[in-house]
Amino acid sequence: MRIISGRLKGSSLYMPKNKTTRPLKDIVRESVFNLLKHSNKISFKIEKSHILDLYSGTGSFGLECLSRQAQNVYFVEKERNAVTFLKKNIEKFQLNNKTKIFISDVLKIIEQKKITEKKFDLIFCDPPFENSNINKLIKLIENNNLLKKTGIIILHREKTANDKLPEYFNIVEERIYGISKIIFGKFLT
């Protein structure tokens, strides 16, 4: 696992040897960033953006954002082993001043309004594939006003997942990569 582009390009990430976390494969991450940068439907600028990385694991998505000049990244992860590696990766790249880590269940931390000091330009959601609370997650993000009006949500799901999403969540782009489905969406205003 490595950083694909930006000032940290080619740098390897610390990863656990066990399979308790499912890292976003390099090729999928690269495709996501290519779509963010080049898609006419999405129109997103990563530079100086505020990112919320939910179910962040060891941080590959958020760290890629920082490598590409995002302003800051908030990571939310409940698995202590993954957080250990996330902290090691942040320290390795000396990014402590651009990151904040919340060790908690994603739904609980949003319900308890622990992330309130800013709105985000991009929220990346990479829950375990068996997680079926996607509708609730999207509603919590919207109800707690975590996304800027021009912001985008990216969902990483299993390609066969048939998640029920709120009617006010507009799917802008959807792509399949192997067993993964990447959904880019915005809230209708």
pLDDT score at 116: 76
Whether the full predicted model's pTM is greater than 0.85, yes or no, is yes
The per-residue pLDDT for 182 is 94
Cβ-count burial 101-121 (b if 16+ within 10 Å, e if not): bbeeebbebbeeeebeeebbb
Which CATH code for domain 26-187? 3.40.50.150
CA dist 181 and 46 (Å) reads 21
Each domain of the chain, given as residue ranges in start order, spans: 26-187
Higher model confidence: residue 24 or residue 144?
144
- Phi, psi values for residue 42, rounded to 5°: -100, -50
Digit-coded pLDDT (tens) for 105-161: 999 999 998 887 779 999 999 998 888 789 999 999 999 999 999 999 999 999 998
Cα distance between residue 44 and residue 42, in whole Å: 6
